[in-house]
Amino acid sequence: MADYLNSGFGMPSHIHPVDLTLSIVSHGQGRLIENLLKDLQRSDLKRFEIILTLNVPESEDFLQPFQDLPIVLVRNDAPKGFGSNHNAAFARSTGARFAIVNPDIRANPLDVQPLLEMLKVAHVGACGPMVLAPHGDIEDSARRFPTPAHLFRRIVTGRRAPDYDFGPDSAPVRVDWLAGMFVIFPREAFAAVDGFDERFFMYMEDADICRRLTRAGWTCWLVPAAAVVHNAQRASQRDLRHLCWHLTSAFRYFTGF
């Protein structure tokens, strides 16, 4: 386990010490991340690195069983937003592909090969696995670009039905955007759009980056052959602060301010 800095958005495309970087950000969520790291220990990943950002101070005891994992540990002096944390991780990363992974994701084991195969297709700028709820239902991780009316219904009613029709045996589905639970970007695509817009502190930055990728000629895909489980927190439905962040981000997404 180490702390180090490396090349960032301008990193030459032919220099890739590892094939895949996984960026995970903890907000005092060490126990959740411990379960995710156990899954990664059981995976068949090779030539990868994990950039784990501690966004707030917390005990690091949960990392003791994972000395064998290639973890780069980042400790923030002050909390940062979702996009800012992952952009900073990208700037430290060396992978040819860059994945953002929520702390509450489980994958036992993680099989990224279908996703990596999808990224070999020309102009694919982002792809993600099928996301399942703990009870097995398919979550709405692949969505159509939001409209104000659609987003209002989601926030107020909590409607979470998928926007696309697919199942475990479906072929890859081209989608508008992928929720930022687990998304992999080719390094050149993420760099081409300058990563996440850091004006979004939390929420909607995933829709925004996929919209900017689409406008730049890239495509986004859901790959049902790969699957993860998401223990959804849904903070915006319980916490007024998160709801305010959600509404502020929605205003910025629709207006550009």
* 24 touches 51 (CB < 8 A): yes
Whole-angstrom distance, CA of residue 148 vs CA of residue 17: 43
Whole-angstrom distance, CA of residue 232 vs CA of residue 1: 28
Residue-range definition of the domain harbouring residue 59: 18-255
Please confirm whether the linkage preceding 109 is cis (ω < 30° from 0).
yes
**Structural domain contains residue 78:** yes
Residue-wise pLDDT for 198-224, tens only, equals 987 677 899 999 999 999 999 999 999
Rg (CA), the chain: 17
Contacts of 6 (CB under 8 A, 6+ apart): 91, 92, 93, 94
Structural domain count of the chain:
1
Residue-wise pLDDT for 72-106, tens only, equals 999 999 999 999 999 999 999 999 999 999 999 99
* 47 touches 21 (CB < 8 A): no
Residue-wise pLDDT for 56-77, tens only, equals 999 999 999 999 999 999 999 9
**Structural domain contains residue 6:** no
Whichever domain contains 183, its CATH number is 3.90.550.10
**Structural domain contains residue 12:** no
Which residue in 232, 250, 252 sits closest to 154, CA to CA?
Answer: 250
